[in-house]
Amino acid sequence: MKKKFIIIMLIFLFIPTLFLASILYEPLDQDTFAIVNGEKLSTELLNSRSQVLYILLDLKDNYPDFYSGLTNTATGVEFLNTYLIDQAMKISNEVLFIQFVEQKGVNLNRNEVKSNIESKFSETFKELEIQDDEIEKYLLYLGYTSKINYIDDAYYSTLYINSISALYNKVLEEIELSDDEVKVEYENNKSNYMSPPTADIKVLIFASEEEASFTYSRIIDGYYTFDEVYRQSDNPLLTIRIDDDTNSLVKIIKSNPPGYVFGPVLYDSFEGTYALVKIEKKNPARILTFEEANPQIIFNLKDKKAQEYFDKVLPKQFQDFQERSTIIFNSALF
């Protein structure tokens, strides 16, 4: 459900409602395309997010006539300017929402986010074994003119997504429910609170398929039982869900009775281990008791009320914040 809210918010904030803010056009430092409530946004951020450099280079290489018309005619230049101002407003709107969430007392840990992105950047290029002198070329291929440019873009994108998630969590935490609300929800929707069908299984793990096959043949031939081998191992009894018909292991368990032993089956593809499995017990789906369902009931009710906030209250609150905000665009760029 949380993912659904994130998608809703992404769509909502990309609707051009930015004109509710006070917008000014003034000469600014050439490295700044806008100042949003005092927060400077770099021109390189606009270039990277709009991918204008990447687009123009691609047009120049593959569609030279169109590129010439786009960059050398008044109509083409006007089209580019319109595109850039649209991108500038979208970025500014994202920053406005980040600030909106922060003014609600939510700490988005900006320094930590920036530090994590820088660390991940270094780790990624180290894993790719790309040399320092090749990084700039690689970034340029992606539409970024520098490492700082790349990190700045990732920083604001991450902050924006984090702000949506953080606001959702804050709203969820602040919602209060009465005991009666929880009880009524359970009584009216018991069928929604079911435990999935499960099976208790014993698993013997082997270092190779050959070793697992040998043990299985000895069990089948009666030299010893599965349980005798199992008691000598330190493997716990596992409980797994058996409501996934696409899983081959689940299919075997569903179609065979308790006591059935099968294998070898691949257990860990990374380790290359194989397993023998014994079905110990099957547990059918059932309606959860009120106590068992209580955490899920509370989450569902809070989630529903959070959705109402996002659908009905948030748009007005954000609009009020926009109306109190000031955005200065660089008049030399737009």
Mind giving me the DSSP string for 254-313? HTS-TT-EEEEEEEETTTTEEEEEEEEEEE--EEPPHHHHHHHHHHHHHHHHHHHIIIII
Q: Quick one: pLDDT at residue 294?
A: 97
d(CA 258, CA 246): 21
Q: Quick one: pLDDT at residue 80?
A: 74
pLDDT at 291 over 70: yes
Cβ pair 253, 274 in contact under 8 A: no
d(CA 264, CA 130): 42
d(CA 242, CA 204): 19
Better-scored residue on pLDDT, 249 or 73:
249
pLDDT tens sequence across 90-109: 999 999 999 999 999 999 99
Residue 270 tokens read as: 């990374």
pLDDT at 327 over 60: yes
* pLDDT tier for residue 67 given thresholds of 50, 70 and 90: low
Q: Quick one: pLDDT at residue 51?
A: 73
Q: Quick one: pLDDT at residue 109?
A: 96
Among 70-74, 83-87, 147-151, which stretch is predicted with the lowest mean pLDDT? Answer: 70-74
Cβ pair 334, 78 in contact under 8 A: no
Residue 328's DSSP bridge partners are 24, 35
Q: Quick one: pLDDT at residue 65?
A: 74
d(CA 63, CA 71): 12
Cβ pair 174, 200 in contact under 8 A: no
pLDDT at 7 over 50: no
d(CA 230, CA 233): 5
pLDDT at 16 over 60: no
Task: Give the end-to-end CA distance of the chain in Å, rounded to a whole number.
Answer: 40
User: Mean pLDDT across the chain, nearest whole number?
Assistant: 87
Within 8 A by CB and 6+ apart from 44, the residues are 31, 145, 146, 148, 149, 152
Q: Quick one: pLDDT at residue 15?
A: 45
Encode 99-123: b = buried (16+ Cβ within 10 Å), e = exposed: bbbeeeebebeeeebbeebeeebee
pLDDT tens sequence across 18-61: 556 789 999 999 999 999 999 999 998 998 888 766 676 666 67
